[in-house]
Amino acid sequence: MGSARFVALSLRLGLFQACLGALSVLTLGIFNRLLIDEFEVPAALTALALGSQQLVAFTRVWFGQRSDRCRWKGLRRTPFIIGGAAAFCTLTWVAGRTVLWIAEASQEGDSSSVFLRGVVLAVVFLFYGLAISASSTPFAALLVDVTTEKQRPALVSVVWSMLMVGIVAGAIVLSAFLGSSCASAGIEAVINGVDRLVSIAPWVIFALVLVSIAGVEPRVSTQLKSAGTAASTEQEISLSAAWQVLRSSPQVGYFFGVLSLFTFSLFLQEAVLEPYGGAVFGMDVCTTTRLNAIWGVGTLLGIASTGFLLTPRLGAQRTALAGGLSSACFVVLMVVAGSLGSESLFRAALFLFGAAAGISTNASLTLMLGLTSPLMAGTFIGVWGLAQAYARGLATISGGALLSGFGTLTGSQNSFAAYAGVFIIQAIGLLVAGVLLLRVDTKLFQRKVEQALGSILASELD
- What is the arithmetic mean of pLDDT over 43-56? 79
Identity of the residue numbered 277: G
pLDDT band per the 50, 70, 90 thresholds, residue 230: very low
pLDDT confidence of residue 313: 80
- 3-state SS of 57-122 is CCHHHHHHHHHHHCCECCECCHHHHHHHHHHHHHHHHHHHHHHHHHHHHHHCCCHHHHHHHHHHHH
Of 425 and 400, which is predicted with more confidence? 425
pLDDT band per the 50, 70, 90 thresholds, residue 153: low
Contact 18, 300 (CB under 8 A): no
CA dist., res. 263 & res. 391, Å (int): 6
CA dist., res. 417 & res. 77, Å (int): 48
CA-closest candidate to residue 455, choices 251, 244, 286, 284: 244
What tens digit of pLDDT does each residue of 106-137 get? 777 777 888 888 889 889 989 998 998 888 87
Q: Is the pLDDT of residue 291 over 60?
A: yes
pLDDT above 70 coverage of the chain, percent = 83
Read out DSSP for 329-359?
HHHHHHHHHHHHT-HHHHHHHHHHHHHHHHH
Give me the residue spans of the domains in the chain.
Answer: 9-220, 228-462
pLDDT band per the 50, 70, 90 thresholds, residue 240: low
CA dist., res. 271 & res. 398, Å (int): 9
- CATH superfamily, domain at 9-220: MFS general substrate transporter like domains (1.20.1250.20)
Contact 326, 317 (CB under 8 A): no
Of 183 and 426, which is predicted with more confidence? 426
Q: Which of 219-228, 231-240, 353-362, 421-430 tops mean pLDDT?
A: 421-430
For the entire predicted model, the pTM comes to 0.68
Q: Is the pLDDT of residue 231 over 50?
A: no
CA dist., res. 130 & res. 452, Å (int): 33
Q: Is the pLDDT of residue 283 over 90?
A: no
Q: List phi, psi (to 5°) of 72.
A: -65, 110
pLDDT band per the 50, 70, 90 thresholds, residue 229: very low
The domain at 228-462 falls in which architecture?
Up-down Bundle (1.20)
Identity of the residue numbered 343: E
Q: Return the DSSP state at 219.
A: P
Q: Is the pLDDT of residue 445 over 60?
A: yes
- What is the arithmetic mean of pLDDT over 241-263? 80
pLDDT confidence of residue 206: 93
pLDDT band per the 50, 70, 90 thresholds, residue 376: low
CA-based radius of gyration for the chain? 22
